[in-house]
Amino acid sequence: MSAPKRVVITGIGAVTPLGIGKEAFWEGLARGKSGVSRIDDVIDLTDIPVKIGAYIREFDPLQFIEKKRARRLGRASQLALAATKLALEDGHLDLTQEDRDRVGVVIGTGIGNIEALTENYDIFLQRGPGRVSPFFVPMFMPNAVAGEISIEWGLRGPNYGTVSACASSNHALGLAADAIRYGYADVMICGGTESVLHPLTFAGFDQMGALSRRNDEPTRASRPFDRDRDGFVVGEGAGILILESFEHARARGAHIYAELASLGMSADAGHITAPDEHGEGAYRAMLMALERAGVRPDEVDYINAHGTATPLGDISETRAIKRLFGAHAYRLAVSSTKSQIGHLLGAAGAAEAIATLMALDRGLLPPTINLDNPDPECDLDYVPHKARPAKVEIALSNSLGFGGHNSAIVLRKI
């Protein structure tokens, strides 16, 4: 068997609450902008205490997808197809020149197109089974997004979805990289998508006590590592990356953002929603990622943290970082993109990987906004309030999901 191939990132597609396209997303991050607002004008949140979210108001699927096809796709799928189109354009990847048997797709989502389920269940109850849409199952199944992307561009390589809550798209990125690394494909389109801004979702998360209720200050609601944090903010979006073997990218003269060096994975095997108190699972995922990449802890410059702004989660992740990095934990920078875009659930890892890539590419660390009163137990450098110039060569991006799913990827500048 030949030696594993190096895997690089050559295209970025972002559809986020800060804007559509990588530049709009990055500009919002660099300015410390918040994409959170009251959304009860577009979603019926009557009798639900939470009225805020990170909604992409300017997204029009018809700018990216033909009208008839768009009607047969759920919003998460629409977001992903739009982000894929942007990624292909950004990477200048002409698929007509590729062997499409060697181009694959892996897309993560935590829940998928939930509106297909709720709308068709209402129809079932009110009008009977004969009125349920024949498109219901293909719209709702979580693997539909990967399938729709392969159909749109005729891609016949490895194709599947990853479903591991908030770790879904980190898993997608890492496993897609392995498909190239071990010879299953030359090019992989991968990332994550999510759109669950639905009353049922808000009711469920709020009943768990997971959401911020800071309705009167939406832009200040998501406050990772802050003493006054009171939960996460639900967001929506999609992040898609084009991965290639280093040789393939170099042969076509592609711009290389960075190397996707490794994925680390673990399980807490403890509680279905609460993280391990001491961050054991996050520690092991980060350690595995560094070992697989051949990177020492003291070589890491930046961590894009999971940083959800939940009371337990932020402390647990901070403890994991301090355990793994020791004294170096106080020298590296850590920040949370969720302070600006909320929690994109299954798409969070992909959006945050893009933020990390742009940090490597532009030499600027995205901030953690709203960090006004740091929690004494969260005592690292979280890049508070403002973006900061910095030379970043090696970075980690963490995603830690309900179910005890932990993942970390290593991104390395070439």
Give domain status of residue 358, yes or no.
yes
- 219 and 362 co-located in one domain: no
Give pLDDT, residue 333: 98
Binned at pLDDT 50, 70 and 90, residue 43 comes out as: very high
- 286 and 392 co-located in one domain: yes
- Tens of pLDDT, residue by residue over 389-409, are 999 999 999 999 999 999 999
d(CA 347, CA 357): 16
Among 251, 279, 303, the domain boundary falls at: 251
* Average predicted confidence (pLDDT) for the chain: 97
Percent of all residues in the chain with a pLDDT value above 90, rounded to a whole number: 99
- Backbone angles phi and psi of 86, in degrees to 5: -65, -40
Give domain status of residue 1, yes or no.
no
Any idea which residue has 């919002």 for tokens? 28
Closest C-alpha to 92, from 199, 12, 192: 12
d(CA 11, CA 255): 8
Give domain status of residue 2, yes or no.
no
- 204 and 161 co-located in one domain: yes
Calculate the alpha carbon distances from 66 to 62, 116, 311, 372 in Å. Answer: 6, 19, 44, 45
Predicted confidence (pLDDT) at residue 1 exceeds the cutoff of 70: no
DSSP secondary structure string, 49-79? Answer: S--EEB--TT--GGGTS-HHHHHTS-HHHHH
- Tens of pLDDT, residue by residue over 64-117, are 999 999 999 999 999 999 999 999 999 999 999 999 999 999 999 999 999 999
- 231 and 272 co-located in one domain: no
Give domain status of residue 399, yes or no.
yes
- 285 and 326 co-located in one domain: yes
Give domain status of residue 386, yes or no.
yes
How deeply is 374 buried, as exposed, middle or buried, from its count of CB atoms within 10 A (0-12, 13-18, 19+)? middle
Please give the distance of CA 29 from its chain centroid, rounded to a whole number: 15
Please give the distance of CA 34 from its chain centroid, rounded to a whole number: 17
Q: List, by residue number, the catalytic residues.
A: 166, 306, 343
Average pLDDT over residues 118-145: 96
- 164 and 301 co-located in one domain: no
Among 225, 251, 277, the domain boundary falls at: 251
d(CA 351, CA 337): 8
Give pLDDT, residue 394: 98
- Supply 107's token pair: 């897309």
Angle of helix 144-153 relative to helix 75-90, nearest 10 degrees?
Answer: 50
Name residue 149's amino acid.
I
Give domain status of residue 257, yes or no.
no
Give pLDDT, residue 157: 98
- 40 and 178 co-located in one domain: yes
Give domain status of residue 392, yes or no.
yes
- 290 and 406 co-located in one domain: yes
Predicted confidence (pLDDT) at residue 2 exceeds the cutoff of 80: no
How many domains are contained in the chain?
Answer: 2
d(CA 389, CA 396): 18
- Alpha helices by DSSP H, listed for 262-392, are 280-293, 311-325, 338-341, 348-362
How deeply is 203 buried, as exposed, middle or buried, from its count of CB atoms within 10 A (0-12, 13-18, 19+)? middle
Length of the chain: 414
- 361 and 380 co-located in one domain: yes
How deeply is 207 buried, as exposed, middle or buried, from its count of CB atoms within 10 A (0-12, 13-18, 19+)? exposed
Residue 246: give its domain's CATH number: 3.40.47.10
d(CA 400, CA 276): 11
- Backbone angles phi and psi of 68, in degrees to 5: -65, -40
Give pLDDT, residue 269: 97
Q: Is the pTM of this model over 0.95?
A: yes
Residue 394 belongs to what domain range? Answer: 262-412
Among 251, 277, 304, the domain boundary falls at: 251
- 174 and 301 co-located in one domain: no
- 271 and 239 co-located in one domain: no
Give domain status of residue 285, yes or no.
yes
d(CA 241, CA 116): 26
- 61 and 155 co-located in one domain: yes
Give pLDDT, residue 3: 84
Give pLDDT, residue 197: 94
